[in-house]
């Protein structure tokens, strides 16, 4: 089956999304007014300061979500969902189980799924124009196309190395290196203790996640 994957990279997505677009998106998606008021209060009148020539200048911040805040990816996703609902992509993409699948999205990790590059270019242009309405910009140097059977290009998506040759050997090698690296980090502690339960706990918390990471992607 012809398949083209377009891995989209947005320039500093979490820093540039417009705050008002986030608040508007929450309202459109049925979030309780109480929560919207609370979030609006957190982001309203938000300022930062710089001190050129020993004189402090206050700047109003109208873009971005708070870095490190657990709710920030959800706020960003809400803003992105709000504009993507308006994209006319019905009938585009690849048919899976009787329905068209045209993209996957996890926060700012987005991949377009199309049968050919021509359709991917059309969808990418529409996506770029729509994103501009909420302050987002496409990073053209890091956005790539991968078409099956033609190019030996690899791309990491959500921690998993993706290629169009159905070659899992590189990813298995990456997992193997990650596992050995994780084990080396706890090797000294493991050798010092004879407690079997502690050893098993260290393995489960440090080594096993390195082995199974991205297995559900």
Lowest mean pLDDT among 27-41, 99-113, 146-160, 200-214: 146-160
Q: How confident is the model at residue 158 (pLDDT cuts 50, 70, 90)?
A: low
Q: What is the pLDDT of residue 188?
A: 86
Any idea which of 86-95, 140-149, 179-188 has the lowest mean pLDDT?
Answer: 140-149
Mean pLDDT for the stretch of residues 33-42: 88
Q: How confident is the model at residue 109 (pLDDT cuts 50, 70, 90)?
A: confident
The residue-averaged pLDDT of 31-55 equals: 84
Higher pLDDT: 50 or 114? It is 114
Instruction: Give residues with Cβ within 8 angstroms of 179, minimum separation 6.
Output: 207, 210, 211
Strand 144-147 to 99-101 pairing: unpaired
The pLDDT score that the predictor gives to residue 68 is 79
pLDDT in tens, 68-103: 788 888 999 999 999 888 888 888 888 888 888 999
> Residue 53 has what DSSP assignment?
G
Q: Does the structure show a pLDDT above 60 at 164?
A: no
Is the pLDDT at 209 greater than 60? The verdict is yes
Distances (CA, A) of 171 to 140, 142, 212: 26, 21, 12
**Torsion sign, CA atoms 141, 113, 22, 88:** positive
Highest averaged pLDDT of the listed ranges 57-71, 76-90, 135-149, 152-166: 76-90
Q: Write down the pLDDT at residue 182.
A: 86
pLDDT at 208: 85
> How many C-beta neighbours within 10 Å does residue 14 have?
19
Tokens of 103: 């993209």
Output phi, psi for 25, to 5 deg: -65, -40
- Mean pLDDT of the chain, nearest integer: 83
Task: Return the DSSP state at 116.
Answer: S
Task: Categorize the per-residue pLDDT at 195 as very low, low, confident or very high, splitting at 50, 70 and 90.
Answer: confident
Q: Which sign, positive or negative, has the C-alpha torsion 12, 17, 22, 23?
A: positive
pTM of the model: 0.64
**Rounded to whole angstroms, how far apart are CA atoms 200 and 195?**
9
217 vs 133 pLDDT, higher one = 133
């Amino acid at each position: 089956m012809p398949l083209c994957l377009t891995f989209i990279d947005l320039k500093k997505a979490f820093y540039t999304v417009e705050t008002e677009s986030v608040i508007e998106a929450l309202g459109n998606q049925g979030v309780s007014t109480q929560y919207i008021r609370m979030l609006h209060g957190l982001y309203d009148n938000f300022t930062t300061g710089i001190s050129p020539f020993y004189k402090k200048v206050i700047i109003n911040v109208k873009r971005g979500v708070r870095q490190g805040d657990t709710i920030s990816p959800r706020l960003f996703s809400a803003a992105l969902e709000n504009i993507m609902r308006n994209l006319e992509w019905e009938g585009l993409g690849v048919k899976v189980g009787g329905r068209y699948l045209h993209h996957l999205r996890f926060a700012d990790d987005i991949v377009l799924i199309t049968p050919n590059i021509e359709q991917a270019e059309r969808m990418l242009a529409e996506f770029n124009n729509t994103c501009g309405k909420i302050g987002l910009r496409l990073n053209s140097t890091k956005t790539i196309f991968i078409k099956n059977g033609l190019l030996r290009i690899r791309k990491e998506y959500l921690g998993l190395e993706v290629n169009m040759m159905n070659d899992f050997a590189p990813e298995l090698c990456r997992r193997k290196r990650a596992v050995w690296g994780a084990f080396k980090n706890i090797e000294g502690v493991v050798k010092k203790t004879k407690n079997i339960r502690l050893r098993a706990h260290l393995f489960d918390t440090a080594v096993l996640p390195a082995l199974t990471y991205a297995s559900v992607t």
